Chains A and B, each alone.
Chain A
Amino acid sequence: MADAAVHDSHQSPSAGPSRAKVLLREPLVLNNRSYSWVTNRIAGIVENPQPKGWWFLVIPCAMLVAVMVFCFTFLVSTGVGVWGPNHPVAWGWDITNFVFWIGIGHAGTLISAILYLTRQKWRTAVNRAAEAMTIFAVMCAGLFPALHVGRVWMAWFLAPVPNSNAIWQNFKSPLLWDVFAVSTYFSVSVVFWFLGLVPDLATLRDRCQPGLRKMAYGLFALGWRGGNRQWRHYEVAYGLLAALSTPLVLSVHTVVSFDFATSIVPGWHTTIFPPYFVAGAIFGGFAMVLTLMIPVRKIYGLQDLFTMKHIDNMAKIILLTGTIVGYAYLMELFVAWYSGSLYEFDAFKWRILFGPYTWAYYGMFFCNVIAPQVFWWKKMRENLIVVMVVCMFVNAGMWFERFVIICTTLARDFLPGQWDMYHPSWVEIWTFIGTFGFFLMLFSLFLRFLPVIAIAEIKGVLPEADPHHDPDQSKRANIVAAPVYDGDQHLSASEANSSPVARPAHS
């Protein structure tokens, strides 16, 4: 860590020439930004008028939300027959989309919880947006199981309440485990996100003129005064929530995979599913975080906070998890052959060689396994266009993965007499597109009303936040400044400063 280098130098103020030179880590915030610069830049996004592009995003997204609402209304008023699933493919795009969205959410919790516990300080620039993404993605995910039950007014059957015959839910069913897992995941993510927001809401409150805005921010800031008598409990609570979220996030996609793995359908009945699903979820989620944050960083001039180093780290995580996913694909195939199970092997033959959906399998394989391999090269990780293109491939690939697992498997099960094709109806297609509108609209509103980067946490990782920080340490002989990772050459510091959007609201 950078601190280690700083502390080393602290202990040996008279750096003799015999000592090895200490190479400082690249700073987390570039260009020696001050606390107030951080406040002004991030709070400025909320306080100033949004760029025109924001409206070009929000208005079409709101229209898509209307389309989604229409599709759901049509579904509920007519019946689930308006969707494509039928015997034998009883789970179609609905569950595909559910697993897709819930997977997207996982990167947010990984960044906010696991990277917090492992003291990866670079997470501070990304965690707020990633957690927001988690919450919105889980909201999109929750719509599908709630609406695919057919009689939506009976959705309360999912809650642990006995029905009129005094029969309780079947707690041995993975589907009920899923209800608990997803609802716990959503609740805990909201709690974690809100607790992290409190100090930043106080910042926004303190910058407002008295009025409705100040009241609203003040109400949600809960009267935060930043006293150490508050921080000491706050930090412990935050750490505990991180420690609780870490096993939780791993459990959620594990339980989702149980929906499949505990069945006897060939192609689903495998023990590799839990780790394979979790790796895939983190993989797809990181791609979505980059898809959202690379444009945000550029539009709002956040290059000094969300640096190329962040993008580099995240690209490496995509490479790692993508390779794990690739390993899982091949291992699944190997075990299908090695197990000697005829049905299992046939399921893969249909999936890869002769089936009607082989194109989906190859699409998935290319997007998830081949495309991320370009991240082995540093030049590729530095090129934002390449990163964006690969992330788009991954976003699409992860959707195909769920489609392949769910639909191709069901379309070819034990008896040839049961085989049939599955085609999504227009209602399903527009519902799915509508959830993208819903997701992006919520994310745009988040950008508009809440700080996109955790202001208090970023200040805490600035070098001068350390009470033992020595402002003169950089002048010492044995410290060599790290070469700044400047893959983003066309966006120099001066350009970032003059971004029209994020100027300080109050001088």
Chain B
Amino acid sequence: MSSPLKRVHGYLAEFTSTRDVFHAAEKVRDAGYSSWDVHSPFPVHGMDDAMGMPRSILPRFVLVGGILGLSTAFLLQFLTQVVIYPTVVQAKPANIYTIAAFFPVMFELTILFSAFTALFTCLVMMKLPRLNHPLFNSANFAKFSDDKFFICIEARDPKFSAEKTKAFLADIGGTSIELVEDEL
């Protein structure tokens, strides 16, 4: 598996508090980097602004999922109870006025489809699941899920520079700066 060729993934810098990483993120944003991320054990309040990112567009997909669930439930019930095989039971007619009896299932499927859309769209947007990632090559990085914060500036960023980016990360308060490499 291991090969002598390696590709640089980027620089990883460690921070010890939310406060430090928050202000550091603002500086990275202002320096004009685009391919970078802040890794933290929990979502840091206001970090989207500090990184200059807009609100997630996930809700639009969930709305579509919900509408899809609602129409699926309506069609499932209306077609089977009224169109294909009119079923006159419980003193209810088999026509459009039967719709009141279809509300509970329409409601449930709206929720069901929305929830699954939220889960799967969220995974796609987070680019997960994946079995490995170059960052996991850094032994230090494992602390992101405990009590440390990291900023990683990736090599594919047009502003990335082997010396300047490293100096920049040290300048904004990062410690244990390391070059993360990916095995090819």
**Interfacial residues, chain A to chain B (CB-CB below 8 A):** 34-36, 39, 160, 162, 166-174, 176-177, 180-181, 184, 187-188, 191-192, 194-195, 199, 202-203, 205-207, 218-219, 222-237, 240-241, 244-245, 247-248, 251, 255, 258, 455-457, 459-460, 464-469
Contact = CB atoms under 8 A, between A and B. Distances in A.
A240 B112 contact: no
Contact of A199 (B37, B42, B98, B104): B42
Contacts of B84: 166, 168
Given A202-B145, A225-B39, A456-B41, A172 B123 contact: no
B67 interface: no
Nearest to B103: A177
Contacts of B116: 187, 191
Contact of A184 (B43, B59, B101, B111): B111
A13 to B, nearest CB: 16
Q: Which of A174, A176, A191 has the most CB of B within 10 A?
A: A191
B108 A231 contact: no
Contacts of B81: 168, 170-172
B132 interface: yes
A223 B42 contact: no
Interface in B25-41: 25, 37-41
Contact of B18 (A202, A240, A467): A467
A245 to B, nearest CB: 8
Interface string B77-100: 100110011010110100000100
Listed from nearest, the 8 A-B pairs whose CB atoms lie closest are A35-B147, A222-B129, A467-B22, A237-B122, A168-B80, A227-B37, A460-B42, A177-B104
Interface of B: 17-19, 21-23, 25, 37-48, 50-51, 53, 55-56, 58-59, 62, 76-77, 80-81, 84-85, 87, 89-90, 92, 98, 101-102, 104-105, 107-109, 111-112, 114-116, 118-119, 121-123, 125-133, 135, 142-147, 152
Given A232-B48, A244-B115, A467-B22, A226 B39 contact: yes
B19 A467 contact: yes
Nearest to B125: A233
Given A170-B89, A241-B119, A255-B108, 4 more contacts: A228-B44, A229-B126, A236-B55, A240-B59
Given A223-B131, A225-B39, A244 B111 contact: yes
A234 B111 contact: no
Nearest to B21: A467
Contacts of B45: 465-467
B41 A35 contact: yes
A160 B18 CA distance: 51
Contacts, number: 220
A230 B119 contact: no
A173 B90 contact: yes
A187 B39 contact: no
A167 B22 CA distance: 61
Contacts of A457: 42
Contacts of B56: 232-233, 235-236
27 contacts: A39-B146, A160-B80, A171-B76, A171-B77, A171-B80, A172-B89, A174-B104, A203-B41, A206-B142, A207-B145, A228-B25, A228-B39, A228-B40, A229-B37, A230-B126, A231-B44, A232-B47, A232-B53, A233-B58, A233-B126, A235-B43, A236-B58, A237-B58, A248-B108, A464-B19, A467-B44, A469-B19
A180 B102 CA distance: 12
B160 to A, nearest CB: 17
B145 A226 contact: yes
Nearest to B79: A168
A251 B107 contact: yes
A192 B37 CA distance: 25
Nearest to A218: B131
B133 A459 contact: no
A237 B142 CA distance: 25
B112 A187 contact: yes
A187 B104 contact: no
A160 B76 contact: yes
B104 A180 contact: yes
Nearest to A182: B108
A226 B144 CA distance: 7
A227 B146 contact: no
A166 B19 CA distance: 65
Nearest to B104: A177
A171 B146 CA distance: 50
B108 A184 contact: yes
B128 A223 contact: yes
